[in-house]
Each structure stands twice: as C-alpha cells, then as structure tokens.
Amino acid sequence: MIFKALNFIAGKIFNKNGYYITGSLNYLKRKRSVDRNYMDYVRLSTLELAVQQIKEAGLSGAVAELGVYKGKFARYINQYFPDRTLYLFDTFEGFEKRDIKKEVENNYSTGEQNFSDTSVEKVLGLMPHPERCIVKKGYFPETAEGVNDSFVFVSIDTDLYDPIYNGLRFFYPRLSKGGYIFVHDYNNDGYIGAKEAVDKFCAENKITKLVIPDVCGTAIIVK
C-alpha cells in the first residue's frame, strides 16, 4: 500500500516535470551500460529491443546512421553491433544551404540549428569500436555513391525533409528483410518536414510504420 502511494506521488511529480519512467527491461538479462546524461530512455531502449530482434532472427548486414552530429546515438549502435560495419554519414559541418532553402520555402523549419561544433575525430573517439566505422563525410546523398552494402539497422536523424526522404530512398531498398529504419523527429513540431518525408515515402511504397513516444517522436519502419 505504502509503495503504491509512493509510486503514485512520484509519478505525479515526474509527469509534472516532463520525466517518464518505464520498466528496466529486466527480461533482456543483460548488463546495462548507458550514458546517464542521455535523457531519452525510450529511444535507447527501443534500439536495444530492435537489436535483440535482429540478432535473434540471425540477419546479416551492415548498420548506419545518417545524421551523426557528435555521435551520441551512433555510439550505441556501434556498442550493440560490435562486429558489424557502421557507416557514419554526416557533413560534420551542420546543415547544407540547399536543404535549408527547401525547409524555409515550405515552412518545414527555420533550419537555423547549428550542428557544426563537431568533428570526425571527436566522433570516432566516442565509439567503443572505431575500427568498425566507415565515415562518409559530406553531403548526403552524394556520399552514398559507391556504397553497396545491405543493412539491418539504420538511424536517419538529419532533421530536414530532403535528406530524410533521400535517406529512405537509399536505405529502404538495401534493408534486409526483418531490418529496421528509425527516423527521428517524425513527431517533432520543430521539424515538420520529417513527418512529410516519411509519410510521402511510406505512401509511395505502401509501407507501414510504428511511431514511438520518445523525446522527438521516432517513426520505425520494419521491412
């Protein structure tokens, strides 16, 4: 009874402040190694569960993140797939003018967020298995030229309409059956082009998606 009451009060306080707690995924029976400063439990835990599904299904293929910035999420992809090639696609200099122009013209976003305070060296320094990483620095989709791998997991987190749509066009045909694509910002009011891009691609290709309640509203496509 006392625990129920404490749980209820804690829930009220956390809810009021925008914090959410869920179970600890004990059924995964694994040692957790998480960055306590990474404040998106749902995003990380969903990644962990997707990884488990991919491994249980015995899928083969590389993994990738398009939109890496400082590598905070890519670090976990690299940790959970220690034996696979991880492609890291980013300008590492922030948004490109041509993408921002389209954002502003369509009222998708202001395109003003600055993601230039990063570097390839810093990102690789954060990776637990940097020897597995292939860095594709520059403007996507140009940097995808010559990449012929198939993929089991891809995170698309470029915020903007064009690179998200182009990312889906590039990765979906190369995704192994049973593989996952996570698209960040699907339900983010600050980047409404993300939803437009995913919805357009899914409608064109008759694909269904699942949306999850992480901090920026990720959409998940499973092939």
Tokens of 24: 């600890």
- C-alpha neighbours within 13 Å on the C-beta side of residue 64: 33
209-211, strands of its sheet edge to edge: 133-137, 86-90, 62-66, 151-156, 175-183, 219-222, 209-211
Contact residue for ligand SAM among 86, 88, 135, 160 (CB under 6 A): 160
Contact residue for ligand SAM among 80, 81, 87, 95 (CB under 6 A): 95
- When asked if residue 170 is in the footprint of ligand SAM (CB under 6 A), the reply is no
Under rule CB under 6 A, which residues in 39-78 are in contact with ligand SAM? 67-70, 72-73
- When asked if residue 91 is in the footprint of ligand SAM (CB under 6 A), the reply is yes
- When asked if residue 214 is in the footprint of ligand SAM (CB under 6 A), the reply is no
The least distance separating ligand SAM from the CB of residue 65, rounded to whole angstroms, comes to 6
Identify residue 156 by its one-letter amino acid code: I
Nearer to ligand SAM, 78 or 158 (CB): 158
At 149, phi and psi to the nearest 5?
Answer: -70, 165
Beta-bridge mates of residue 156: 66, 183
- Residues at the site binding ligand SAM, with contacts judged by CB under 6 A: 67-70, 72-73, 89-91, 94-96, 99, 115, 139-140, 157-160, 163
